[in-house]
Amino acid sequence: MADRMDDVELTNSRAPVIEPGYTFGTVTDKISAIVLTRPTSNGWFVGFGLAFLITMMLLFALGYLFLKGIGIWGNNIPVGWAFDITNFVWWIGIGHAGTLISAILLLLRQSWRNSINRFAEAMTLFAVACAGLFPLVHTGRPWLAYWLVPYPNTMQYWPQFRSPLVWDVFAVSTYFTISLMFWFVGLIPDLATLRDRSENRWAQMIYGMLAMGWRGSARHWHRYETMYLLLAGLATPLVLSVHTVVSFDFAIGIVPGWHTTIFPPYFVAGAIYSGFAMVLMLAIPIRKLYGLEDFITDRHLQNSAKVMLATGWIVAYGYGIEAFMGWYSGNRYDSFLLWNRLHGPYAFFYWMLLICNIGIPQVLWIRKLRTNTVGLFLVSLVILVGMWLERFVIIVISLHRDFLTSSWGMYYPTRWDWMTYVGTIGMFLAAMFLFVRILPMISIFEMRTLLPEAEVKPE
Amino acid sequence: MKTTPNYGIMAEFDSASDLVAAARKTHEAGYRKIDAYSPFPVEELAEAIGFHANRVPLVTLIGAITGGLTGYLMQYWMNAVNYPVMVGGKPPHSWPAFIPITFEMTILFGGISAVLGMLALNGLPMPYHPVFNVPRFVMATKDRFFLIVFSTDPKYSPSGTRQFLESLAPRSISEVPS
């Protein structure tokens, strides 16, 4: 555990991971007070209320969808996948940053992750929940979605395991389950802290039940740490596999622009790119509103910006290879796809995608901008829009003009498409609002390990 | 009325360093049924109280292997034995297509085993535990460090153990009623 000290002491060259002067007690008080003692601000009620209303709009859109069927959307042959799958891939990509921060950075011993992993994991859970909704309602008859699960049935039939769509069911549900467990076991010691610190009988009982009698025994900690490392080790290949499997949904098909081997790595990089953008869009207002600048410091913002810069270039390389292969393959359909992206009816979105994902984020090379919260917030927003456009371009531009001119068509989203998409953003935000109010949004026990006094001096 | 023996005697310390040092001395003094409590994981502590047997990795390994086998055999049996369907000219037993789900099931079972194994080996959930009867113990999840000698230890004696713990210069000493 020597590295945690190095990180704290590197203050002269970089912003610290945690501002000096804190003790175990003050860290605990500061984070738990947000949940236990601080009065809920009016801003919280306004924000949650708005998000809740948008969630209600989602339920309305879904209710009408179940009544009428997916004909209310703009999807039609040849564009059978449109907003729903675009949004699915977008949301699941956003989820990836949470697991990257909590698992991969843990294995790489990047202790700065300790103050952002908790809410990044929560973000993952809610994003995956939003993502899962889309393929479910896209089946058209979501009440039969359980047919995707292999179970003995009177039809005596089984899922067809050579289809990447079935792989997706397993990948996404495994990802959700593992993320949920990772988040929950990470919360157990902090739930015990809340149990012991709350004065309210109900809060004591609820946190107490959730904490399951955690008492911080050395034997328990030892097994806990082993389990946490193993879970991180399992979650690391998992997070890389999930977007890989999502990209298989495309890459296994023969549609021009989908049938490429670069898809898995380029999808995973894009996922992390958009995920970090969402982390910043949440972290910047949260640290400001709750006065947590001492815990989520400029160092965290800078590091996240650097991760975005790096993954952004991997994504740019992916676009480059796609364009290069369109020309180099000599395949007329691939060449046409490239032409259609640059000049076709949806060309505006392709150019916007290049501007949002490759052009504008280059301002992150400027050191000053990486610590300017307003600037970072706006760049993150641009990246999230760009990553959404990327999925839209991949899905709609490829599908709307494939091999036969006679089967070409156009896709236009309807108001129901928009209401469903915007509705999931409301649902995501409503869940985040509830999370910051009722659970510690920063891992208290992991913050304690970062303090200088946590070091055990040799005798 | 017959007095029941205490659950143990607990000493409170201010820092992780003090607790590790005290735990080492207690172990060296021959006490074996001891435990230490800290508000965050302290790497040296498990070794200091003489705890080595950690079976979480084994449980996880067994879970992961079970998951992988379940995943592969499920697909093989369903698609190649019980109801073979020709799709896309691929053989019923197309093993490369079975790899993604085999992998996901390995991770799923391994992860669930790691978490449930940790909880089961730790004896959690356990809402009631005698150490919670010590009023000062609420600080164990904030900034205090505790060491306990259980009354089941062969070397335990109410006065002798208390004297020994006092020699470690703790912040306070409490009897833990059973």
Q: What is the CATH number of the domain that holds A266?
A: 1.20.1630.10
- The answer to whether residue A212 neighbours chain B at the CB level (below 8 Å) is yes
* pLDDT at res. A67: 93
The answer on pLDDT for B2 being more than 50 is no
Confirm if A369 and A363 have CB atoms less than 8 A apart. Answer: yes
Q: Is the peptide bond before A150 cis (omega within 30 degrees of 0)?
A: no
Give this complex's ipTM: 0.92
* Cα four-point dihedral sign A171, A176, A177, A182: positive
Give the residue carrying structure tokens 């901008």.
Answer: A369
- The answer to whether residue A306 neighbours chain B at the CB level (below 8 Å) is no
Locate A190 and state its tokens: 């902090």
* pLDDT at res. A114: 85
End-to-end CA distance of chain A: 16
Q: Is residue A4 part of a domain?
A: no
A contacts of B35 (beta carbons < 8 Å): 217-219
Helix (H, G, I), strand (E, B) or coil at B103: helix
Q: pLDDT tens digit string along A376-432? A: 999 999 999 999 999 999 999 999 998 999 999 999 999 999 999 999 999 999 999
Locate A255 and state its tokens: 């549609």
C-alpha distance from residue A276 to each of A184, A386, A421 (Å) = 21, 13, 20
DSSP letter at A458 equals: P
Q: Can you tell me the distance from the alpha carbon of A64 to that of A419, in angstroms, rounded to the nearest whole number?
A: 11
Locate A387 and state its tokens: 């990553």
Confirm if B70 and B105 have CB atoms less than 8 A apart. Answer: yes
* pLDDT at res. A387: 95
Q: Can you tell me the distance from the alpha carbon of A59 to that of A52, in angstroms, rounded to the nearest whole number?
A: 11
B contacts of A167 (beta carbons < 8 Å): 100-101, 104
Strand partners, B37: A217, B146
Q: Is residue A323 part of a domain?
A: yes
From the candidates A3, A226, A447, which should be mutated to test the interface with B, based on the most B CB atoms within 10 A? A226
Q: Is A230 in contact with B38 (Cβ distance < 8 A)?
A: no
* pLDDT at res. A293: 85
* pLDDT at res. A376: 93
* pLDDT at res. A10: 46
B contacts of A454 (beta carbons < 8 Å): 16, 40, 42
Proportion of chain B above pLDDT 70, given as a percent: 98
Cβ partners under 8 Å of residue A162, min gap 6: B79, B87, B88, B90, B94, B97
From the candidates B40, B90, B149, which should be mutated to test the interface with A, based on the most A CB atoms within 10 A? B40
**Please, which residues 76-115 of chain B have a Cβ atom closer than 8 Å to chain A?**
78-79, 82-83, 85, 87-88, 90, 94, 97-98, 100-101, 103-105, 107-108, 110-112, 114-115
> Model confidence at A1, in pLDDT bands (50, 70, 90)?
very low
Q: Is A448 in contact with B108 (Cβ distance < 8 A)?
A: no
pLDDT, mean of residues B26-44: 88
pLDDT, mean of residues B45-65: 90
Q: pLDDT tens digit string along A90-139? A: 999 999 888 888 888 888 888 888 888 888 999 999 999 999 999 999 98
Q: Is residue A10 part of a domain?
A: no
Q: pLDDT tens digit string along A74-93? A: 999 899 899 999 999 999 99
Least confident of A280-294, B70-84, B164-178: B164-178
* pLDDT at res. A459: 65
Q: Give the number of residues written for chain B.
A: 178
The answer on pLDDT for B117 being more than 90 is yes
Confirm if B172 and B126 have CB atoms less than 8 A apart. Answer: no
Q: Is B104 in contact with A170 (Cβ distance < 8 A)?
A: yes
Residue A342's φ and ψ, nearest 5 degrees, are -80, -30
Q: Is residue A271 part of a domain?
A: yes
> Quick one: closest CA in A to B95, which residue?
A162
- The answer to whether residue B14 neighbours chain A at the CB level (below 8 Å) is no
DSSP letter at A104 equals: I
Query: What is the domain extent for residue A360?
Result: 21-454
The torsion angle over the Cα atoms of residues B37, B40, B41 and B45, rounded to 10 degrees, is -40
| DSSP of B4-30 | PPPSEEEEEESSHHHHHHHHHHHHHTT
Q: Is residue A119 part of a domain?
A: yes
Cβ partners under 8 Å of residue A374, min gap 6: none
Least confident of A1-10, A290-299, B137-146: A1-10
- The answer to whether residue B119 neighbours chain A at the CB level (below 8 Å) is yes
Q: Is A230 in contact with B39 (Cβ distance < 8 A)?
A: no
A contacts of B7 (beta carbons < 8 Å): none
Q: Can you tell me the distance from the alpha carbon of A59 to that of A81, in angstroms, rounded to the nearest whole number?
A: 21
Helix (H, G, I), strand (E, B) or coil at A79: strand
DSSP E strands: which ranges in B38-127? none
Considering only CB atoms, B51 lies closest to which of A213, A219, A248, namely: A219
Q: Where would I find the H helices in A37-82?
A: 42-68
Least confident of A177-181, A319-323, B31-35: B31-35
Helix (H, G, I), strand (E, B) or coil at B173: strand
Confirm if A257 and A121 have CB atoms less than 8 A apart. Answer: no
All structural domains of chain B with their residue ranges:
8-52+127-176, 56-121
Largest CA distance in chain B: 83
Q: Can you tell me the distance from the alpha carbon of A350 to that of A332, in angstroms, rounded to the nearest whole number?
A: 20
How many Cα atoms sit within 13 Å of A229 on the Cβ side? 11
Q: Is A449 in contact with B41 (Cβ distance < 8 A)?
A: yes
End-to-end CA distance of chain B: 16
Q: Is residue A9 part of a domain?
A: no
The answer on pLDDT for B133 being more than 50 is yes
Locate A302 and state its tokens: 């800078």
Q: Is B100 in contact with A214 (Cβ distance < 8 A)?
A: no
Amino acid code (one letter) for A69: G
Strands B145-150 and B34-37 turn out to be: antiparallel
Q: What number of other Cβ atoms are within 10 A of residue A449's Cβ?
A: 20
Nearest Cα neighbor of A194 from A178, A205, A181 is A205
- The answer to whether residue A253 neighbours chain B at the CB level (below 8 Å) is no
Cβ partners under 8 Å of residue B142, min gap 6: A24, A25, A28, A193, A196, A197, B39
Residue A31's φ and ψ, nearest 5 degrees, are -80, -40
How many Cα atoms sit within 13 Å of A402 on the Cβ side? 17
Considering only CB atoms, A222 lies closest to which of B46, B104, B137, namely: B46
Proportion of chain A above pLDDT 90, given as a percent: 59
**Structure-model confidence comparison of residues B109 and A11, the more confident one:** B109
C-alpha distance from residue A288 to each of A62, A299, A302, A328 (Å) = 35, 15, 16, 50
Q: Is B100 in contact with A218 (Cβ distance < 8 A)?
A: no
Secondary element (H or E) of residue B98: helix B95-121
pLDDT, mean of residues B52-70: 93
Q: Can you tell me the distance from the alpha carbon of A447 to that of B93, in angstroms, rounded to the nearest whole number?
A: 50
Nearest Cα neighbor of A220 from A261, A192, A252, A239 is A192
pLDDT, mean of residues B110-135: 91
* pLDDT at res. A395: 94
- Domain count for chain A: 1
Q: Is residue A3 part of a domain?
A: no
Task: Write down the mean pLDDT value for chain A.
Answer: 89
Considering only CB atoms, B87 lies closest to which of A162, A224, A453, namely: A162
Q: Can you tell me the distance from the alpha carbon of A431 to that of A425, in angstroms, rounded to the nearest whole number?
A: 10
Q: Is A161 in contact with B79 (Cβ distance < 8 A)?
A: yes
Q: Can you tell me the distance from the alpha carbon of A436 to that of B177, in angstroms, rounded to the nearest whole number?
A: 38
Q: Can you tell me the distance from the alpha carbon of A105 to that of A101, in angstroms, rounded to the nearest whole number?
A: 5
B contacts of A456 (beta carbons < 8 Å): 16-17, 20, 42-44
> Model confidence at A2, in pLDDT bands (50, 70, 90)?
very low
Nearest Cα neighbor of A294 from A7, A26, A5 is A26
Considering only CB atoms, B17 lies closest to which of A160, A177, A457, namely: A457
Q: What are the strands of the beta sheet with B34-37, ordered from one edge?
A: B34-37, B145-150, B8-13, B172-176
pLDDT, mean of residues B66-74: 96
Strand partners, A79: A76
